[in-house]
Structure 1
Amino acid sequence: MTTLVLCVDRSNDIGRTAGLETPIVGWEAVQSLVTDVGLADPEDSGVNCLLESLRVARDLRDGREETVLAVVSGGGDSLVGADRSLSAQVDALVDTYDPDSAVVVLDSANDERVVPVIESRVRIDSVDRVVVRQAHDIESTYYLLKQFLADEELRTTILVPLGATLLLLPILLTQFSPAVALAGLAALLGAVLLYKGLAIDEYLSEVPERTRAALYSGRVSVVTYAVSLGLGLVGIFLGALSVSPQLGPESVVVRTMQFTYSAVPWLALAALTASAGRLLDELIGTDGISTPYLNLPFGVVALGLVVRGFAGWFLQREAVLADPRLWGYVLTPQQRLAGFIVAGIVVSVVGVRVAASVGGESLDDVAQ
């Protein structure tokens, strides 16, 4: 049984320091290489890697195993070229010595990336990573920083917002107080993190293609979405106009309820228009009607009734909204709220019944 003890130097530091070409094979050759590399650069961790490979080969030989000690390294101007050169050297060693297994000795996380390349040529029994205690943390940090700077997505996600923050900070400090400047920067960074964390950029990048596909397919929902957008803007505008300016800043809840009470009908109508367009697309484009699309219009109306009921309760309690009359009877805030809640539940139940009876039928069956 022959074991190949392989000292890996992906970056070719050993070869450049010693001025030799790899692979270097044999106990005496590697022992001489340790002296050459150590004298040329005593601080190189490759010296420890070579010594460890000698120790592993000695221990295997003392256990009466046949060993082949070799040093392989990368070459070329790129990582791909270095890995191809290293794999060619491993192929030559495998063809020459036909080992049954290999023990890989390396000294960095960068060298560990070529382990799968070696494993595709010969079975690996062990991977021995040499850690220089004084330099382990520094080397690992340097490698992580190098990998981070090489990743384009990480650079654009972290370095760009950080750089923009550092550029804006002195400008904001010259124009505003430190508290306002820091609050603005925190809000900006929070918006950027949410933008990336929620994948809003990916969604926005798909919007033009989806819009183009919807226009070319002739969907009714394209028009209804535009109408619902307009209705939503109308609701927001009317809700803002309904807020009483004479109320003090302490009446935030009342202002919010005024806006909600006036805007909800228009917002519910906008959602109802959008859901109706989607339902028409479902009717035209498929053989059956999906239950969720049937439930959605009724759910929108029910939700609008309930929200408007609660907003009206707040306003009526604060005497902002006049007491309603029903057949000459004045309704209390609780009675008004109960009426809206009951109406919402009734609409929701009707939607469930309609969806259960119509769902799955074909367009011809619905027309009949």
Structure 2
Amino acid sequence: MTRTLVLTIDRDNDLGIKAGLRGPVIGRKSTLSAALRLGLADPEESDTNAILGALHHHDRILDSGEPNDAVEVAILTGDERVGARSDRAIAKQLEEVISEFQPDCAILVTDGAEDEAVMPIIQSRVRIDYVEKIIVRQSKGIEGTFYYIMKAIEDPKWRARLLVPLSVFMMIIGLGMILPGGGVLIGAMPLIVGIWLLAKGLGAENQFERLMLDMRDSAMGGIVSSLLWAFASFSSLLAILESYRTIVQADSGLSTVQIAIEAMDSGLQWIILASLAVAMSMVVLRWRRGTLTGRVFQIMAGGAVIYAFAEAGLDVARQITGGVTYELDPGVIYNDWGLAVVAIVVYWMVRTGVKSWSTRQETQGRFWGV
């Protein structure tokens, strides 16, 4: 006897917002009713097709399975603010469904990659044997393509993803054409794209979203953190302007590498101040909420190491590109790299101290905020 659970996920809670239904929705009759209500509320909603796809799998398994097999269908709903909050709601509803039905395996039916993002949550609680993505057949004509582009622009969730990057690139191109020496701005576009792709790859967007939620949940901490974030933004802007001023006013006799070194050196201090402000905002928020960990201090100490090595490296590069022969003399190395070595020692001391204090907290059963 096999007990199969057919699941479909509504991560952004369209079912609750448009049809007024709360998850979980369990059972074929309730699921079919939910699909009809959602379809009537918004005929263009793709979640309706996913729900009907789940019902299709439910009926197919029921018809082709063994007499003793059991099958159930359920809809799990999240929250309109997709993220940690919606995933927690889905996990809670899934546990409720599992407690009621006790499935041996599950089939997941989704309408896109967003709903598939919760697969690790489901797999941690029940075995998934099959995943199907419901894709509605559409016309491939130009009118249909234009229609879907316009619908994406009207959707607040997709509008920011489509229009913001496009507007930023157009603004950079416009400024590059208007400002004297604006070719630097146009040339910076690949750098901006690379930074954005790196942030997406490292999941910085989720970290930033979590930080914004922390700021919202903590009033006093949010005020201080907002000021620190404003200072960080201002420092970042000053770093860009200072580097740009250095490039524009650079001596024509300098090479491109020398100009780049001078530009990075002129903006380095402002970048460090911006990074320090961001780290301090994290300290304020986590201390306010009682979740402050020593990792924040390790990050700050690591930033000091990066700054020391960057400053020393730029100074050495400036000497080498200026035609000065760099001597591997102990005194010269100490003068150039002594601060970097001290920063490494400080980082090791901070890391050791945090680890020791955390171990002490665990053994004594008392939390000191580290």
User: TM-score scaled by structure 1?
Assistant: 0.49
User: TM-score scaled by structure 2?
Assistant: 0.48
- The structure with more radius of gyration: 1
